[in-house]
Each structure stands twice: as C-alpha cells, then as structure tokens.
Amino acid sequence: MGFKRYVEIGRVALINYGKDYGKLVVIVDVVDQNRALVDAPDMVRSQLNFKRLTLTDIKIDINRAPRKKNLIEAMEKSDVKGKWESSSWGRKLIVQKKRASLNDFDRFKVMLAKIKRGSLVRQELAKLKKESA
C-alpha cells in the first residue's frame, strides 16, 4: 500500500521531542497501541509514546526485549551508527549540529569559502557561455 517503515521489534527510531531529543533508540517491545519500550546503549530502558518517535529505515535483528548486552552486540553487528551517519538523513543532522556549534571565526571562514566557491562557479559558467556564444 505504501507503508515501508513499521513499528516492529528492532526498528531504530529517532526521538523527536522531549528530554532525549535527537537520540537514536531501538524499539525493544511494544506496550500497547501508543507506547513502546525503547532502549539505547547509553540510556535506561524506558517507555516512550510513539508520538515522540520518528521511525527510520534501519532495522536490527533482535528478539523481544533482549538483554542490554545482546542489544549492544546486535547494534554493533548491524552497524547502526555507521548506517545512520552515511544515510542522507543522518548526514543532514550532523551538518546541522556542526553549523550550530560554529564560533564567529568559523563562520567567517565559511563565508570566505562560500565566496571562493561562488567565484569558481561563475568563472566556469563564463567560460561555458563564451564557448557556446
């Protein structure tokens, strides 16, 4: 029909509201229609409302409610972190974080780099225009 991302045991999700905003967690069990038991290597296993989660494409292979050790092993084996950081969504978030943490000197450097890139593009464009004219 169209749904590609399902709530299932092993689905990796991003927390999009609340104290743990921005964390990647794994859905470890489903409490009921609205809540899931959710776990990540650096947090206590807790229940979260689905409204606070955004599902990702990544899914790992675990049993229902695994031990913390097994969960960490399974996450390492399927390289959740690597897959996330190489996905376009993950990369966007990394860039956003980097931009937010720039200091004034860094922003100055970015400005110079943008000007340089713009000038190179315009030079190439001028060349192509001349050739086609």
Contacts to other proteins by CB under 8 A: 2-3, 5-9, 16-17, 21, 29-32, 37, 44-47, 50-51, 54-55, 63-65
- The residue among 3 and 105 lying less far from other proteins, judged by its C-beta, is 3
Place of tokens 């409204």: 51
Task: Round to the nearest angstrom and report the end-to-end CA distance of the chain.
Answer: 51
Q: What is the DSSP letter of 129?
A: H
Burial class (CB in 10 A: 0-12, 13-18, 19+), 51: exposed
Cα angle at 42 between 66 and 57, to 5 degrees? 65
Structure tokens at 60: 């790992």
- The residue among 43 and 128 lying less far from other proteins, judged by its C-beta, is 43
Cβ 14 to other proteins shortest distance, Å: 11
Cβ 4 to other proteins shortest distance, Å: 8
Cβ 83 to other proteins shortest distance, Å: 19
Q: What residues does 33 pair with on adjacent strands? A: none
Cβ 123 to other proteins shortest distance, Å: 35
Which residue type is seen at 57?
D
Structure tokens at 54: 């955004």
